[in-house]
Amino acid sequence: MRLRSKFAVKCAKATSSLIKKLNRGSGVTLPGYVARLIDPNILKELSGQVRKKTIVTMGTNGKTTTNAILCKALEHEGQKVIINRTGANMLNGIISAFVLATDKHGNLDADYACIEVDEIASVGVLPKIEPDCALLTNISRDQLDRFGEVDITYNKLMTAVTSVPKTTLIINCDDILSYSLAQESKNAFVTYGISEQIFDDVSRSEIRESIFCRKCGKKLEYQFFHYGQLGLYHCPNCGWNRPNPEYTAEHVVREDELYSFDMDGIHFDPQIRTPYNIYNTLSAYAALKTMGAGYEHFKEMIEAFDYGNNRESIFNINGARVQLHLAKNPIGFQQKVSHVLRDPNPKDIIIQINDTYQDGEDVSWLWDVDFQYLAESNARKIITAGTRKYDMALRLKYEDVSCESTDDMRASVLECVEQGTKNLYVIVNYSGLYQTNHMLTELEGKGGTER
């Protein structure tokens, strides 16, 4: 390693240590910034030390879970893996993941790198790390103030993947945008998809980013939708259609709140509560098989895998079942609404919406979620919280869904736990996740008795 690179690593590690010592955060972003200031080529230098292969995971929904599955599968096979576990998926966070994994001499000891990459950041990241494999989960609307309309995201991803022509793409061919990108990019690609209808009416909603043929512009016909624009499609004009996927999940069954399914002729019984995680599992499996690594004991690994990843957690607080869910864009939130409705029992619901930079300051996406279904959720009480609690309350009012608002999330949780249905759903967007998880963990440990 060049002397400049070693100095960059040393300074970045010192920055991380200082941040943690001062209790000023987790120290997973600023160190990357420091390293890049000293050595602009530090990411290319360090990623080049990965002995075998590098996989990047991109897409609007499912990146963090899919990346975690990839890492766990490779580790289960005895491989040494670098991963940005915290979801710090912008350039500085990715540099930090590499820098903080080095030894005292500034060198890496890694067989693989599993890196989650923000779609907008992909243009700057992919040319530097030149991944062997790029997995794309889907393309849909996200934070409007950062991403704009979905065509902007599409164009950014196209620029990114065409800058690394030797990278093999792993593509969700049920998504017309992802499949079209793969065909237009000229990169080699492998497809995965689900050919049977596994999503319910609430999941499917009416959120469609594009239902027009990417070849001739005519309206597509669908055999059925999974959700959004994902489904089995064909163009009646030019014949462009969803291909038969090279990897698929079959015989999907939901029993006792959990999904089981077959992949590659093998039956899997993982701890999956939401059908979207079937997609995440399938995509990771397709990537591992394509690379020829990390799949030999995949069944054993995935059936013990924790899909919560601090984004779907269940707590027992004073005898009440409390579920915490992350929802940060229209498609993701629609899946959570569907999950709530699959539970016929009486329940309480708290929805916390914030508008920090992490969340996206524009919360107009709330109008793209079909909240009218919550009127049928058998909810005793729906409470809105967060900096945009009144925006959320107004959205529910337009659907004739009764709610109240709170400035005290903890007190509202305790009220629902002590006086409610003993079945509480807490749905938060990104910036509220860590704090709420910490609060619920604390309440669970104390038996939910302290206000």
**Residue 143: its pLDDT value, please?**
52
Q: Which CATH number fits domain 3-304: 3.40.190.10, 3.40.50.300, 3.40.1190.10, 3.10.105.10?
A: 3.40.1190.10
* Tens-place pLDDT, residues 217-275: 999 999 999 888 899 999 999 999 999 999 999 999 999 889 999 999 999 999 998 89
CA–CA separation, 308 vs 352, rounded Å? Answer: 19
Three-state SS for 432? Answer: helix
CA–CA separation, 294 vs 316, rounded Å? Answer: 35
Three-state SS for 113? Answer: strand
Q: What is the DSSP letter of 142?
A: -
Cβ-contact 98, 114 below 8 angstroms: no
Cβ-contact 164, 130 below 8 angstroms: yes
Helix axes 409-419, 430-446, angle to 10 degrees: 50
- Cβ-based neighbours of 141, under 8 Å, separated by 6 or more: 60, 147, 149, 150, 207, 209, 329, 330, 331, 365, 368
**Residue 250: its pLDDT value, please?**
96
CA–CA separation, 442 vs 428, rounded Å? Answer: 18
Burial 230-261 (b: 16+ CB within 10 A, else e): bbbbebeeeebbbeebbbbbeebeeeeeebbb
**Residue 197: its pLDDT value, please?**
92
Q: Classify residue 336 as exposed, middle or buried by CB count within 10 Å of its CB (0-12, 13-18, 19+).
A: buried
CA–CA separation, 31 vs 28, rounded Å? Answer: 6
**Residue 147: its pLDDT value, please?**
47
Q: What is the DSSP letter of 38?
A: H
Q: What is the DSSP letter of 176?
A: H
- Cβ-based neighbours of 206, under 8 Å, separated by 6 or more: 370
Query: What residue numbers does the annotated binding site cover?
Result: 213, 216, 235, 238
CA–CA separation, 318 vs 415, rounded Å? Answer: 11
Locate CATH 3.40.1190.10 in the chain.
Answer: 3-304
Angle in degrees, CA 72, 77, 79, rounded to 5: 80
**Phi, then psi, of 360 in degrees rounded to 5:** 100, 120
State which amino acid sits at residue 393.
Answer: A
CA–CA separation, 348 vs 232, rounded Å? Answer: 36
Q: Report the catalytic residues.
A: 362
Q: Classify residue 342 as exposed, middle or buried by CB count within 10 Å of its CB (0-12, 13-18, 19+).
A: middle
Residues with pLDDT less than 50, the chain: 144-147, 449-451
Query: What residue numbers does the annotated binding site for Zn(2+) cover?
Result: 213, 216, 235, 238
The stretches of 130-175 forming alpha helices (DSSP H) are 144-147, 150-162
**Residue 419: its pLDDT value, please?**
94
For 215, the token pair is 């070849």
Q: Which CATH number fits domain 312-446: 3.10.580.10, 3.30.70.1150, 3.50.50.60, 3.90.190.20?
A: 3.90.190.20
CA–CA separation, 237 vs 219, rounded Å? Answer: 9
Locate CATH 3.90.190.20 in the chain.
Answer: 312-446
How distant, in Å, are the alpha carbons of 123, 217, 337 from that of 441?
38, 51, 23
Cβ-contact 171, 139 below 8 angstroms: no
Q: Which of 412, 420, 347 is nearest to 377 (CA)?
A: 347
Q: What is the DSSP letter of 376?
A: G
